[in-house]
Structure formats: C-alpha cells, structure tokens
Amino acid sequence: MIKIRKLLILLWAVTSLQAQSPMKPIYLDNSQPVEKRVEDALSRMTLEEKVAMCHAQSKFSSHGVPRLGIPEIWMSDGPHGVREEIEWDSWGAAKWTNDSCTAFPALTCLAATFNPDLAHAYGVAIGEEARYRRKDILLGPGVNIYRTPLNGRNFEYMGEDPYLAARLSVPYIKGVQQSGVAACVKHFALNNQEMWRGHINVELSDRALYEIYLPAFKAAVEEGGVWSIMGSYNKFRGQHCCHNDLLLNKILKGEWNFDGVVVTDWGGAHNTQEAALNGLDIEMGSYTNGLSSMSVFTYEDYYLAKPFLKLLKSGEVPVSVLDDKVRRILRMTFRTSMMGERPYGSFVNETHSLAARRVAEEGIVLLKNDKQFLPVQAGKYKKIAVIGENATRSMTEGGGSSTLKVKYEVSPLEGLQQVYGAANVVYSKGYSTGPSVYGRVIAPKENQQKLFDEAVKTAREAEIVFFVGGLNKNHEQDCEAGDRTSYNLPFGQDDLIREILKVNKNLVVVLVSGNAVAMPWLKEVPAVMQAWYLGSESGNALAGVISGTVNPSGKLPFTFGQKLTDYGAHAFDKLSYPGDSINQYYKEDILVGYRWFDTKKVKPLFPFGYGLSYTTFEYGKISADKKVYAATDVVKVSFTLKNTGTMDGAEAVQIYASQPKASVIRPAKELKAFKKIFLKAGETQTVNLDIKVSDLAYFNDKTHQWTVEPGDFVLSNAASAGDVKSAVKIQVMP
C-alpha cells in the first residue's frame, strides 16, 4: 500500500511539472511562420553549433544541432533517380537491400518531350522517392547549357536553349519540393565541359552570361522557388564558382533575391576567406576521411569548419556573415525535415513507373523514316535481328554521380522480344565497349572482329535489323569527369553499320546517347531514332514507339551538326574549346546551338526542335492580336494545327522571334514559346500562345539592364528551328 501511495505521488509530481513547463519553443512550433522559427532557433545556438551546420559530417550529410533537436541534412544524388546508400565516409556501397530505385529517363530525354506537364510529373515521382528514402536535398536538376557535343555530362542537362531549359526545370522543381524535399539546381554556373573542370577559368561576355547561361537558373529561383543551388567546379573570371562573389552574392542572392542554400559541388571549396564571404553556405567534399585518426584532412578541417571558426573568433569575418548562412540552412530545414505535415513519400510503384515510361515515350525522337519504313507492326516479320551492345547493356549504371541501383530495368532487347516474340528475335552483340569504370577507360576483353563478323552474319539471315548502338555512359563517352574524344560513334560502330547495309538494307538505327553523334551512313539507312538513356522502362518505351503502339512526338533539345567544327564552340581555336588548361574563352558569345547554325547559315544534320511523327500536321498562318505593342504588353499569337494523317499524335509547336534591324548583334531567331498539342487523326485545333514583349529584350552590358529595343520584330510558328511555317511582323513602340 505504501509503495502504491509513493507511485501515485510520483505520477502527480511529474504531471504537475509538465503542466508548469514552458510552452514549446517557437522553432519547434509548426504553426509559427518559418522566419520566426528561424530567428528563434538561431538565437539559441552557440557559435560552434552554427559553424558545424556549414560543413559536411559524412559523404552525403551535414550537421544538425542535436542539443536543440534540429536534425542533420541528408542529400542524395539525382537527377534521374535516388542514388543507392553509400558508406558514411567512403564511396563504397552500403549494400542495403531496400535502396533500389526507379530509374527515370535522363534529363535530355525530358527536354525532348517539350512537355512541362510531364516535367512536373517527373519531379513529383522522383520527389516522392527521395522523401521515402528520407532525403532532404535531391541534387538536381541540371540546367547547364549544351555548348559542345563533347561535354561528358550533357545527358544530365536540358539542351542548348535557355528558354526550353527554364520552362522544364520550373515544374520539375515544384514537383520535387511538394514532397518536402529540396531540389538543388546545378551546376551554377558555366560547367559546360568536364575536361579540366576543377580549375578551368571561363571568360565570356555579360551578354552571353545573362542571355544564354543564366536564364534557367534564374527561372529556378524566381519561378520555381528552388530551395538550394549547387555551385560548379570551374572558375569564372578568376574565382571558383562555389565561392564566386559575382555569381553568388551579386547575382544569385542580390539580383534574384535567392533565400535558399548554396551547396558546393563535392570538393568545390578552395579558400576559407572566399568561402566565408562570397556566398557559400554548406561545404561538401569527397577527398577527405572524417572518421579515421590516420586522416590528414577531416571534416573538422574543412574550409568552413575550424578555419572558419578561427576567423570568426578573431573578428576577421563578422558573425553576421555566419548568421546569414545558418538562417538559410534553418529555413531549408523548416521547409523539409521540420516541415509541418510533411508527406511520407512512396517508392518504386506503378505510378512512378508510368511517369518514367511516359517521359521515355514522349522523349524518343524519330530522326528519319523514309517511305514510312516505321512503324514495324507485330507479326510483319518472322526473323528479326537485334544487333548492338546497347540492346542488352544496363544504361542506369555508369556516367558518374548519376549512376543508379535500380529495382528493375527493361532492356531494348527484352522490350522488342515481348512485342515481336522471343522466337522471332535473334540477338548479336556486334561490338563490346568494356566495363563501366569511373574515371578510366577499360578496354574490352572480347574479340571485336569475331563479334563484328557474327553480327554481319546475323543481319544477312534476317528480314529486318534493329541496330541499337550509340554511347553508353563509359568514361569519355557520356560520363562525368571526362569529355568525349571524338564526334563519331566508338568501337567501330560506323563500320559495322556500313557492313550491315551491304547485306541487309532493312535497317533501323537506334542511337542511345545523351549527345549528338556523326552519322556518315545516314543517307543509306531508311530509319533512325534517337533514344537517349530511358531509365527503367527503356525497353517498353522503345518497343512501343518502334511497333507503333506509341506515336513518336519527341523533338531535339539540341542541334545535331554534320561535323564537330559546325558548332560555334569548335569553330575557333582551342582557347574556345577546351581552353589551354588554365583559361577558356567563349568566342561564339551568344550564338550557341541553333543560334550559331542559323545566324552563320551552317546547315545542320538535324536542327534544334526537330522530330518526326507517324502522322502529319498542317500549320495554319500565324497571326497576332494587334500590330503595335508597348514594352509592357503581351503579344497573343494564334494559328491552327491540323492532324492530317491517319494516326492520333502530338506535335510540339514552337514560336521563334527575330529582330531584323537591331543596334546590336541578335541571333537569326530565338525560341520564345512552345506547346505540345495532342490531336486525334483529322482533328484541328486553334493554338494560342502568349509572348511577353519584355521577353524580346537583349541584355545591355553597358547599362546592365534588359533592353527592349523599339522597332519591328518577326514572330514565326515552326515545327523546328529549320522548319518555319509562317511569320507575322509586329512593332514595338518606345
């Protein structure tokens, strides 16, 4: 009885103390405004706790504040899927059994869809997977501009046009962040090659910077509301981009009012003073051991760790600089891991697979189709040859940091076998490229001549051949940390295609790559398809388009030149590309991609925005709602689009603008609007698109302002940059 009485007294005391305890701290109260929570948390932190939040504690995490219950920040590579778990302080796989993700198509494929709605669905799906895996930051999307087809990371980006990249990155970001996961737009800025990426200094005009290389980042901030941005490895005007005063302080946080977090690329910081003062918030790295006593450079030795603390204590750097960084980190934490009613996410489900497949199907580009050679309906042929290593090789692995461990991946061969019947499909490898090893080229062990001869024999005995080749995310193909060394297909594929044509003219070439390639055999091949890296649903999507159950509607997000020197970056000396290992000058200036081809009248192999369909479309004449506009007006253009074929399909219509008489150099034309229109066979629709007159501006580097020069402008509707249908002239008044 006495023991029961004591227990009751104890329970009463505890209850009484809880009733008298102070209210929940503001920073833990989800009902409070984020900025109020930030200030409350900041006021409770010690100097050491603040500094700790500014640098890594493991390969993919940074410090929280355990004493206050503020969690660590966990990051994961993207942008095509959530990377497998790795060890705390090595790049070795943690070997979990529950981290196999959905692989989504590479961002070049997303760009080729010309479909912002699909970009949002992509972002939602990958955001849900990142949230389920308890990630706070997904390292993507990548929006660097396609300047040269040799860039090893072009497959991670959204093409050569800043407007296209901006319009697709914004819905992707919003989709990711609705799950309470921060998107991290990368690589800010001018990371347009992998050769010497860690130190090459890029020099270019302000016009090129603002008109070509910054718009997608600006849209990510001002329209997408992105919560984090990753700096790039290279230098810009003498300073590393991860702590570049002009890029981070003046433009990103000044002109654009970015309120989120700037994260280094791994190992991208080089100087404590610059890192502290020039806008960097979290320093991550890959060259350090944070655990072992044998390490000579631990996480506590990072530039924004003990050296930063020392500068703060000495007064060389004001505490206000630190507080700005921590405010940003806390703000992101309250938007993600400490967000009220944060969604739970989901992982590898039918909805995500469907999103991946839709992006893949809509992104595949039909480049050539003589005499309607495609589609090839099931049952038409009894002996089909599938030739090429890429028909069976995993394309979710390799490529560098975007490599994925996937739950499943349907290969092109499997997809074709499912449609045409395994008994009717004969496979021959044709060539071998060796294993995927980051940073090194490993020669294949197989006898290449034997593979070559077997493939030709297989082609000779078949009724039709599907050649599935291209690049493959190996080093010096489409891969981080190394650019391509040739514009041609590797491992003798061009010769193999020529030999196949000698024995079988019924050839479809499917190019799997994230870059343009030379096609010396193009005139002889009846059908060519650009397939990108299509993710988990690769084979299903590809087989659907080849067989005609899916009508192709992808458009090229970058120009295919006939040869390497057709591109502006390669039309000058080596200082333009790749540089002299110290400096590089963007000599083509604002004339990047189709802007160069059109303005300089260089005939491409395939123009930007190009893509065929199994149906045909008829464009009506474009018209504008009036003839004269003020600088603040919106131009409303319209025209009819009719599906004149016998198959339902979609067309990505494009609007280009030009200023025939300008006081400065202007490109021959620039993309200013686009829309993907789905039409049933025989259906006609009126297409309406809006263009802000302010979007017709050029960047005036003398006044540092966007300037709409009064005068005449021409707006054209087009099926590609090389296929203008009609034009209307408008006048802009002062």
Model pLDDT for residues 595-634, shown as the tens digit of each residue: 999 999 999 999 999 999 999 999 999 999 999 999 999 9
Q: Is 469 in the same domain as 581?
A: yes
Is it the case that residue 385 has pLDDT exceeding 70? yes
SS3 165: helix
Q: Which residues of 528-547 are buried (b: 16+ CB within 10 A; e: fewer)?
A: bbbbbbbbbbbbbbbbbbbb
Model pLDDT for residues 529-542, shown as the tens digit of each residue: 999 999 999 999 99
Contact 472, 436 (CB under 8 A): yes
Q: Is 567 in the same domain as 633?
A: no
CATH of the domain at 500: 3.40.50.1700
CATH of the domain at 660: 2.60.40.10
Is it the case that residue 21 has pLDDT exceeding 50? no
Q: Is 630 in the same domain as 594?
A: no
Confidence of residue 297 (pLDDT cuts 50, 70, 90): confident
Amino acid 438: pLDDT: 86
Q: Is 588 in the same domain as 642?
A: no
* C-alpha closest to that of 681 among 720, 713, 649: 649
Which tokens hold the place of 386?
């599938």
Among residues 565, 599, 633, the one where a domain terminates is: 599
The verdict on residue 686 lying in a domain is yes
SS3 202: strand
Average pLDDT for residues 462-490, to the nearest whole number? 96
- Please, is 523 exposed, middle or buried when counting C-beta atoms within 10 Å of its C-beta (0-12, 13-18, 19+)? exposed
Q: Is 629 in the same domain as 515?
A: no
Contact 651, 679 (CB under 8 A): yes
Average pLDDT for residues 394-419, to the nearest whole number? 96
Is it the case that residue 5 has pLDDT exceeding 60? no
Q: Which long-range contacts (CB under 8 A, 24 or more apart) does 577-580 make?
A: 577/147, 577/148, 577/150, 577/193, 578/193, 578/195, 578/196, 578/200, 578/483, 579/196, 579/200, 579/201
Among residues 537, 568, 599, the one where a domain terminates is: 599
Residue 637 phi/psi, 5° resolution?
A: -110, 155
Alpha helices in 141-285 (DSSP H): 162-177, 206-208, 215-222, 272-277
Q: Is 588 in the same domain as 635?
A: no
Catalytic member of 89, 136, 161, 265: 265
723 DSSP β-pair partners: 720
Q: Is 493 in the same domain as 627?
A: no
d(CA 521, CA 497): 7
DSSP string, 2-29: HHHHHHHHHHHHHHHHHHHSPPPPGGG-
d(CA 607, CA 722): 6
Which tokens hold the place of 520?
């010396």
| % of the chain with per-residue pLDDT over 70 | 96
Kindly calculate the radius of gyration of the chain based on its CA atoms and give it in whole angstroms.
27
The verdict on residue 705 lying in a domain is yes
Model pLDDT for residues 533-582, shown as the tens digit of each residue: 999 999 999 999 999 999 999 999 999 999 999 999 999 999 999 999 99
* C-alpha closest to that of 109 among 75, 147, 60, 159: 159
d(CA 233, CA 220): 20
Amino acid 294: pLDDT: 55
SS3 86: strand
Amino acid 439: pLDDT: 86
Q: State the chain's mean pLDDT as an integer.
A: 95
Amino acid 24: pLDDT: 87
Average pLDDT for residues 48-70, to the nearest whole number? 97
Q: Which residues contact 88 (CB under 8 A, 6 or more apart)?
A: 58, 59, 290, 291
- H/E segment holding residue 628: strand 628-629
Which tokens hold the place of 359?
């992006």
Which tokens hold the place of 402?
């975007």
Q: Which long-range contacts (CB under 8 A, 24 or more apart) does 289-293 make?
A: 289/89, 290/56, 290/57, 290/58, 290/88, 290/89, 291/88, 291/89, 292/89
Average pLDDT for residues 308-333, to the nearest whole number? 98
Among residues 599, 632, 666, the one where a domain terminates is: 599
Q: Torsion-angle region of residue 717: left (phi > 0), alpha (psi -120 to 50) or beta?
A: beta
Average pLDDT for residues 32-38, to the nearest whole number? 97
Is it the case that residue 18 has pLDDT exceeding 50? no
Amino acid 694: pLDDT: 97
Average pLDDT for residues 374-381, to the nearest whole number? 96
Q: Is 573 in the same domain as 429?
A: yes
Confidence of residue 8 (pLDDT cuts 50, 70, 90): very low
HSE (side-chain half, CA atoms, 13 Å) at 87:
9
Average pLDDT for residues 344-359, to the nearest whole number? 98
Q: Is 461 in the same domain as 366?
A: yes
Instruction: Name the domain count of the chain.
Output: 2
* C-alpha closest to that of 532 among 455, 478, 591, 586: 478
Active site residue 701: no
SS3 599: helix
Is it the case that residue 491 has pLDDT exceeding 50? yes
Average pLDDT for residues 167-174, to the nearest whole number? 98
Length of the chain: 734
- Would you tell me how many other CB atoms lie within 10 Å of the CB of residue 227? 25
Which range is least confidently modeled, 8-12, 172-176, 343-347, 480-484? Answer: 8-12
Domain range for residue 625?
A: 617-732
The verdict on residue 103 lying in a domain is no
The verdict on residue 132 lying in a domain is no
Is it the case that residue 437 has pLDDT exceeding 90? no
d(CA 311, CA 261): 21
Confidence of residue 20 (pLDDT cuts 50, 70, 90): very low
Cis ω before 187 (30° cut-off from 0): yes
Query: C-alpha dihedral over 242, 244, 248, 251, to 10 degrees?
Result: -140
Q: Is 500 in the same domain as 585?
A: yes
Please identify which residue in the block is written with the tokens 């060796």: 434
- Please, is 502 exposed, middle or buried when counting C-beta atoms within 10 Å of its C-beta (0-12, 13-18, 19+)? exposed
The verdict on residue 220 lying in a domain is no
Which tokens hold the place of 282?
């979290």
The verdict on residue 30 lying in a domain is no
DSSP string, 25-81: PGGG-TTS-HHHHHHHHHHT--HHHHHHTTBEEETTEE--BGGGTBPPEEEEE-SSS
The verdict on residue 46 lying in a domain is no
Which tokens hold the place of 128?
């849900």
Amino acid 291: pLDDT: 67
Contact 712, 725 (CB under 8 A): no
d(CA 410, CA 396): 11
* C-alpha closest to that of 131 among 339, 347, 282: 347
For the chain, helix (H) and strand (E) counts, in that order, are: 17, 28
Amino acid 13: pLDDT: 46
Confidence of residue 201 (pLDDT cuts 50, 70, 90): very high
The verdict on residue 234 lying in a domain is no
Q: Is 566 in the same domain as 665?
A: no
SS3 573: coil
Q: Is 571 in the same domain as 678?
A: no
